Amino acid sequence: MQKDILKLETTTNSPSMFRTTIKTRHGRTLLLSLEVNGPACTITDCFYYDRNQGREGAARYKARPKKLRTLQFPVENLLAVIEAELDKKFYGVEFVETEQADLTLDEYLDFKAGGPNRKYRFLVMVGDGNICNGLPMHLRTHLKTKLHRAVYVELAYCKDGKGVVKQCCYYDREYRRQGIRIAPPMLISCFFPYTEEGILNLLNHEICCDFTHMLVTEGLDLDSNTMPLCGAI
């Protein structure tokens, strides 16, 4: 089994500053920035960015890991701190130089989220009704988020180029059988641009998905078969 190595990338800000992105054991993606001065290591920034990729500035950087308490420690304790407080085990550290050293923080995150090695991930929607903005006026799907939660999504065209979220709820736990509908807590938008890009942005940024393209089909019976059609399956 290949053991994970923590690769800290240099930046042009300072020879003692490094950054990297980490995917935790629970599927969350975070940015870690730190400064190494001799035997001392200081975490200068750390936040999840997988649910805020469509935002910039403070809104993008605010989701900080609640378990992270140790910000300054001996450099030999770095891997222990990451394992205990950031939910990821590494077996070694490498300091590497990359072509991304001079990127701003937003540019760096965009590169990591959509770099050349990113795989195509298709959102599969079942559509019906008249066509508007190139899409059927009614779209539904069962999907699985990056956090491996099964979600039912129902969207519809509203007016003036806008769509509306008719329903978005988890269906993979006991409360589903009791008729209780629980919406993902990150979902804050009701209306959105009724386009492929608008739908991808909505689902990626607000219910923790990473779709790159959308496919629309018809004739699938979502009511009798609740297996997810797409996502982290």
Q: pLDDT at residue 19 above 70?
A: yes
pLDDT over 90 for what percent of the chain?
51
For the stretch 163-213, pLDDT in tens is: 999 999 998 876 655 667 888 888 888 999 999 989 998 998 888 888 888
Residue 144 is predicted with a pLDDT of 92
**Beta strand ranges found along the chain (DSSP E):** 6-10, 17-23, 29-37, 40-48, 72-74, 93-96, 122-132, 135-144, 150-159, 162-170, 191-193, 213-217, 230-231
Lowest mean per-residue pLDDT among 110-114, 136-140, 177-181, 209-213 = 177-181
Helix (H, G, I), strand (E, B) or coil at 187: coil
Residue 33 in domain = yes
Q: pLDDT at residue 52 above 90?
A: no
Last residue of a domain, one of 92, 114, 136: 114
Range of the domain at 215: 122-231
Q: How many domains does the chain have?
A: 2
Q: pLDDT at residue 133 above 70?
A: yes
Last residue of a domain, one of 88, 114, 140: 114
| Most confident among 2-11, 190-199, 223-232 (mean pLDDT) | 190-199
Residue 1 in domain = no
pTM of the model: 0.54
Q: pLDDT at residue 114 above 80?
A: no
What is the Cα–Cα distance from 173 to 182, expressed in whole angstroms?
A: 10
130 and 196 share one domain: yes
Residue 221 is predicted with a pLDDT of 84
